[in-house]
Structure 1
Amino acid sequence: MTKTLHKVDLELRPAGKLGTIIVAGSLLAGCTNAVGVTEQTFETTANDGGSAYYAQFANPLPDDPNYFPVAVWHESLMDAQDAVTDRSFGINTYVELTTESNPTFAHDAGSYVLSSTPQSSLNGFVLPDEVDMWGKSGEGVWTGAWPGEAPICEPEESRCGYTVLEETLAKAPAGAMVYANFGKGVTFWGDDEVGTHFTSTYADVVSADNYWYTDPNICDKTEGGTRFEEPRDLTESECRLAANYGHTVKQIRDYIQPAGSKPVWGFVELGRPFSDEKLPTVTPTQIRAAVWQSLIAGARGIVYFNHSFSGQCASQHVLRDCDEESSTAVARINNQVSLLAPVLNSDTAEGILSAEGAVNVRVKVYENHFYVLAGSAQATKQTASFNLQCVGSTDVEVLNENRTLHATEGAFADDFADGNAIHVYKMPITNCAAK
Structure 2
Amino acid sequence: MKTLREITLAALAALLLAGCTVPVAESVPPTIGPLGLEQVPWEGGPEYWKQFAKADAAGWDEPEFFPIVAWYNGVSNQEEIDFDKELGINTYIGMPATFESSWLNDNDMYWIGGAINDTFNEKTPSWVGYILDDEVDGRFEPEAGRKHLSEISSEVPDGLFKYANYTYMVLENDLKASDSEQYVNDFTDVVSVDKYWYTIPHCSAEPYRDVSLVPIKQESCRSASSYGQTMDALRQRDTVDGKLQPLWQFVENMGGSDKESTFSEYITPNQLRGAVMNSVIHEARGIVYFNQALSGPCQGGNVFRMAQVHVGYCGEEQVDAARIVNNQIHQLASVLNTQSLAFELNPEVDTMLKVHDGYAYVFAMTAPEKSSGDSEMKLPEGISGTTVEVLFEDRKIPVNNGTFRDSFQHEYTYHVYKVKL
Match 2:212 to one of 208, 220, 227: 227
1:270 maps to 253
Q: TM-score, normalised by structure 2?
A: 0.81
Q: Deviations over 1:83-141 (max 9, x none)?
A: 22211211011123334432331222211110134853311110110001111322xxx
Cα gap change, 1:222 to 1:361, in 2 (>3 Å): farther
**Shift of residue 40, structure 1, vs aligned partner:** 7.7
- Give the aligned partner of residue 300 of structure 1: 285
2:104 maps to 1:106: yes
Change (3 A) 1:356 1:251: closer
Change (3 A) 1:47 1:321: same
2:389 corresponds to which residue? 397
Identity of aligned residues (%): 30
Shift in alpha-carbon separation, 1:58–1:222, aligned structure 2, 3 A: farther
| 1:337 pairs with 2:329 | yes
1:176 has 2:160 as partner: yes
Structure 1 pair 234–221 and aligned structure 2 pair: CA distance change class (3 A):
farther
Residue 381 of structure 1 and its aligned partner are, at CA, apart by 2.1
**1:315 positional shift:** 1.2
- Contact kept, 8 Å, 1:356 with 1:385, in 2: the verdict is no
* CA spacing shift, 1:218–1:209, aligned 2, 3 Å: farther
Does structure 1 conserve the Cα–Cα contact (< 8 Å) formed by 2:171 and 2:213?
A: no
Contact 1:296–1:362, Cα closer than 8 Å, also in 2: yes
Q: Secondary structure at the match of 1:320?
A: helix
Cα distance in structure 2, aligned partners of 1:81 and 1:54:
30
Alignment of 1:130-141 (within 5 A): 130-138=135-143
Q: Retained in 1: the 8 A contact 2:390–2:417?
A: yes
Measure, in 1, the Cα distance between the counterparts of 2:330 and 2:281: 15
Q: Is the CA contact 1:106–1:113 (under 8 Å) kept in the aligned structure 2? A: yes
Identify if the C-alpha distance between structure 1 residues 220 and 196 changes in structure 2 by more than 3 Å, giving closer, same or farther.
Answer: farther
Change over 3 Å in CA distance of 1:25–1:111 after alignment to 2: closer
Point out where structure 1 has 5 or more consecutive residues left out of the alignment: 1-21, 30-38, 139-159, 430-435
Contact 2:75 2:81 in 1 (8 A): yes
Change (3 A) 1:40 1:324: closer
Q: Which amino acid aligns with 1:373?
A: F
Residue type at the aligned position of 1:384: S
Structure 1 residues 98 and 129, CA gap change in structure 2 (3 angstroms): farther
In structure 2, what is the Cα distance between the partners aligned to 1:301 and 1:25? 18
The amino acid of 2:379's aligned partner reads L
Q: What is the match of residue 57 of structure 1?
A: 52
1:427 partner SS: strand
Gaps of 5+ in 2: 9-33, 308-314
1:327-372 superposed Cα distances (whole Å, 9 cap, x missing partner): 2221111111110000100121224x43142x21110111111111
In the alignment, is residue 208 of structure 1 matched against residue 193 of structure 2?
yes
- Aligned residue type for 2:390: V
Distance, in Å, in 2 between the alignment partners of 1:260 and 1:398 is 35
The equivalent of 1:190 in structure 2 is 175
Contact 2:74 2:99 in 1 (8 A): yes
What's 2:27 paired with? none
| 2:357 aligned partner | 367
**Equivalent AA in structure 2 for residue 377 of structure 1:** A
Alignment of 1:36-435 (within 5 A): 41-45=36-40, 47-60=42-55, 61=58, 62-117=60-115, 119-120=121-122, 121=124, 122-138=127-143, 160-188=144-172, 189-217=174-202, 220=205, 225-227=210-212, 234-235=217-218, 237-257=219-239, 258-259=241-242, 261-274=244-257, 275-276=259-260, 278-322=263-307, 323-351=315-343, 353-357=344-348, 359-378=349-368, 380-389=371-380, 390-392=382-384, 394-429=386-421
Q: Which has the higher strand share?
A: 1
Q: Which moved more, 1:375-384 or 1:85-94?
A: 375-384
Alpha-carbon separation, structure 1, partners of 2:377 and 2:184:
34
Q: CA distance change for structure 1 residues 315 and 40 in 2, over 3 Å: closer, same or farther?
A: closer
Q: Deviations over 1:293-349 (max 9, x none)?
A: 000000111110011112332111112213333322211111111100001001212
Where is the helix percentage greater, Structure 1 or Structure 2?
2
Q: Give, in whole Å, the separation in 1 of the partners of 2:400 and 2:335.
A: 24
Could you say what secondary structure the match of 2:232 adopts?
helix
- Secondary structure, in 3 states, of the residue corresponding to 1:255? helix
Assess, with a 3 A threshold, how the Cα gap between structure 1 residues 221 and 57 changes in structure 2: closer, same or farther.
farther
Is the contact between residue 79 and residue 102 of structure 1 (CA under 8 Å) also seen in structure 2? no
Q: Which has the larger radius of gyration?
A: 1
What do residues 228-255 of structure 1 show as CA deviations (whole Å, max 9, x unaligned)?
A: 79x9x953x3210101101111111111
**How far apart, CA to CA, are the structure 1 residues paired with 2:336 and 2:375?**
23
**Residues 67, 393 of structure 1: CA spacing in aligned structure 2 closer, same or farther, 3 A cutoff?**
closer
Secondary structure of 1:44's match? coil
**Kept after mapping to 2: 8 A contact 1:89/1:334:** yes
Deviates more, 1:183-192 or 1:365-374: 183-192
Aligned partner of 1:292: which letter?
M
Contact 1:116/1:127 (8 A) holds in 2 = no
Q: Is 2:374–2:407's contact at 8 Å kept on the other side of the alignment?
A: yes
Per the TM alignment, residue 393 of structure 1 is displaced from its structure 2 partner at its CA by: 5.5
CA deviation vs aligned residue, 1:180-203 (integer Å, no higher than 9, x gap) = 111122122424322221111101
How much is the aligned-residue C-alpha RMSD, in angstroms? 2.6
Residue 65 of structure 1, CA deviation: 0.9
Moved more, 313-322 or 74-83: 74-83
Taking structure 1 as the reference length, the TM-score comes to: 0.79
